[in-house]
A = this chain, B = another copy of it.
Amino acid sequence: MHMLKKIDLALQLGNDESEALKKEIDTLGARLTALQQEIKKAGIPVMVILEGWGTSGKGSLIGRILRYLDPRGARMYSITQPTGEEARKPAMNRFWLTLPAKGEIAVYDRSWYHDWMTIGKPWKQKEIEIFERQLTDDGYVIFKFFLHISKKEQKKRLKELESSKNTAWRVSGADLHQNKNYETYEKCFENMLETTSYSFAPWKVVSGMKRKMALRDVLSEIVTRMEDILAKVQAEGKDALQKQGTLPEEMQFQMAPQPKLSEIDLSQEMSDEEYWQKLDELQKELLGLTYKLYRKKIPMVICYEGWDAAGKGGNIKRLVSGMDARDYMVHPVAAPTSEEKSRHFLWRFWKNIPKTGHIAIFDRTWYGRVMVERIEGFATEKQWKRAYNEINEFEQELHDWGAIIVKFWLQIDKDVQLERFTERQNTPEKQWKITDEDWRNREKWDAYEVAIDEMIENTSTKVAPWHIIESNNKHYARIKAIEIVIEAIKNRLAEI
C-alpha cells in the first residue's frame, strides 16, 4: 500500500514555468515524434493509458502528447461507461476492439480500469491480467500512468472550475464524491495499483500537481522505455518482444479428455427415414430452446472445425434450420486480412462475440492458430505453443461471462475425403468448393493429425470441451451435432 504514498506531492511544488523545463519538454517531445517513426518501422504496437484522480489533468496531458504524434498511426480513445450494446458483451470485449495495429499507438483517456475505479464495483482483475499478459506476450508495449494529486489540490481545482460558467459543467458528481471521500478512494486506488502492477505492464504513478512537470515525467518514461525496447529489437530482431507465454504443461484448467482421432470409429449408418424424422423433431426442439436462451439472455458460441470436405457447411445449415434467423449469426473464417494479421490473433474473433441472448456460429475458428498457422509456419513456435493457454483463457472468459460453448471436430477418414474431393471436382455446381489448397492440405494429412490430436488434448476443457463428430456418414453427423447443442442448452437451463 504505498504506490501513491511514496510519491511526495509536496516535492513537486517547484516552478512549473521555468525555461529549463520547457526546453526539456520540447526535447522529449521531438524525441517522441522521431520514435513514432521507428516504432512504425519496427512494427511495435503501443498502448498508453492514463488514469488518475478527477481534475488531475489527464485530458490536457493526452492532448499534449498527441501533438507530438503523427495522427496517421496514433489513435485516442476516451473511455466512459459502456454503451447498451457494449454492456451485452464480455467486459473486456470493447477494449479488445481498440487494439492498435503493429507500429501504431493507441492512447487511452481512462481505460479498462475505468469500470473498476468506482468504489464498490466488482473487480475484473483476472480478465485484466489476461488481457495485458496476452498482449505483451505478443509484443505489445503497454504504458500505464496514474496521475496523482492531493486532496487539497483537487478541491482547489474543482472550486476553480465551478467558479466559471464556461467550466462549471466539467465538474461531475463523481469528481465531487471523490474529493469528499478522498481517503477511501485513495485506498481503493492503492489497492488497484498494487494488484495490477504486473511485471509485464507496470503502473507508473506520476504527480499531477504541476502540469508541465507531469507532462515531462510521462514523456520521459515513454521515451526512455521505448528507446530501450527499440534497442532490444534492433539487437535481437523482429521477434525479440514475443514471449514464451504459458505452455501447455503449465496450464491450470480442468480438462475433459477426448480420444485420439485414430481411435474414432467411423462406421456409423443412419437410414434416410430415421434421419428425416429425427431432423424434424430435433429442429423443432432446438427452436424452442433457442427462444429460451433469447429470453433469458444467455449467449452461445458454437465452433466448427474439421477436415476439408468433412461437411461443416451442410452440418451448420441443418443446425441453423432449427434456429430463428434473428438470433444467430454464422461467421465464416477465412485467411486473416492484413488488418487482422497486424493484431493479436484473437482480435478478429473478439469482434464477433455475440451479445447476450444471441448465438454465434464459427465456421472455422481461432483454432486455425494451432492447425494451419502452425503447419504452414504462419505462426512461430512460440506463438502457437502459447496459443493453447490463450485460447483456454479466452473460452474461460466467455464461460465466466455466461456463454454456452460447444466445439465440434468433424472427423472423416482419408478415403472419404478423397471421394468427396473427386465428386466436387467432377460436379460443375460443386467445383467452387474445391481448391488447389485443399489438395495441398490433404498431402499434409499426417502432420495435421498430430496437430489436431495435440489441439484437442490441450484445449478440451471442462467449460469448453471438444466433441468429435463422426462424419463419414453426413446424416449421422448432423443429427449428433444438433443433439449435442440441445443437450448443452438443456444443461445450462437446468442450472438456473
For the A-B complex with A59-B325, A109-B325 known, give 5 more contacts whose Cβ atoms are closer than 8 Å. A63-B321, A72-B332, A75-B329, A76-B325, A109-B326
- List residues of chain B with CB within 8 A of the CB of A40: 432
* Copies of this protein in the complex: 2
Q: Looking at the complex, which of A193-201, A259-267, A312-320 is the stretch in contact with chain B?
A: A312-320
CA distance A109 to B327 in the complex (A): 11
Residue A166 at the B interface, CB < 8 A? yes
B contact residues around A339 at 8 Å (CB): 337, 339
Q: How distant is A218 from chain B, measured CB to nearest CB, in Å? A: 14
- Whether A446 sits at the interface, judged by CB under 8 Å, is no
In the complex, the answer to whether B325 meets A63 with C-beta atoms within 8 Å is yes
Complex Cα distance, B62 from A329, in Å, reads 13
Q: Which of A14-22, A77-85, A469-477 faces chain B?
A: A77-85
A429 to B36, CA, bound (A): 11
Q: A295 to B83, Cβ gap below 8 A?
A: no
On chain B, the residues within 8 Å of A37 by CB distance are 429, 432
Bound-state Cα–Cα, A316 to B62, Å: 16
Provide the A357-396 mask, 1 if CB < 8 A to any CB of B, else 0.
Answer: 0000001000000000000000000000000000000000
CB pair B429–A66 under 8 Å, yes or no, is no
| Identity of the chain B residue whose Cβ is nearest the Cβ of A30 in the assembled complex | B429
A71 within 8 A of B: yes
Report which of B34, B62, B72 forms a contact with A334, defined as CB distance below 8 A. Answer: B72
Asked if residues B325 and A166 are in contact (CB atoms below 8 Å), the reply is no
Tell yes or no: A488 within 8 A of B by CB. no
Which A residues lie at the B interface, using CB under 8 A? 34, 37, 40, 59-60, 62-63, 66-67, 70-73, 75-76, 78, 83-85, 107, 109, 166, 169, 288, 291, 295, 313, 316-317, 320-321, 323-326, 329-332, 334, 337-339, 363, 429, 432
Give me 12 A-to-B residue pairs in the complex whose CB atoms sit less than 8 angstroms apart, sorted by A's number: A34-B429, A40-B432, A59-B326, A60-B324, A60-B325, A62-B326, A63-B321, A63-B323, A63-B324, A67-B321, A83-B83, A339-B339
- Give the CA-CA distance A109 to B166 in the complex, in Å: 46
- Give Cα A337 to B339, complex, Å: 9
Give min CB distance, A47 to chain B, whole Å.
16
For A109, give the chain B residue with the smallest CB separation: B326
Q: Which residue of chain B is the closest to A429 with respect to CB atoms?
A: B34
The reply to whether B66 and A325 contact each other, CB–CB distance below 8 Å, is yes
Q: How far is the CA of A78 from the CA of B321 in the complex (A)?
A: 17
Docked Cα-Cα span, A77 to B135, in Å, equals: 32
A332 — which chain B residues lie within 8 A by C-beta?
71-73
CB of A147, distance to nearest CB on chain B (Å): 14
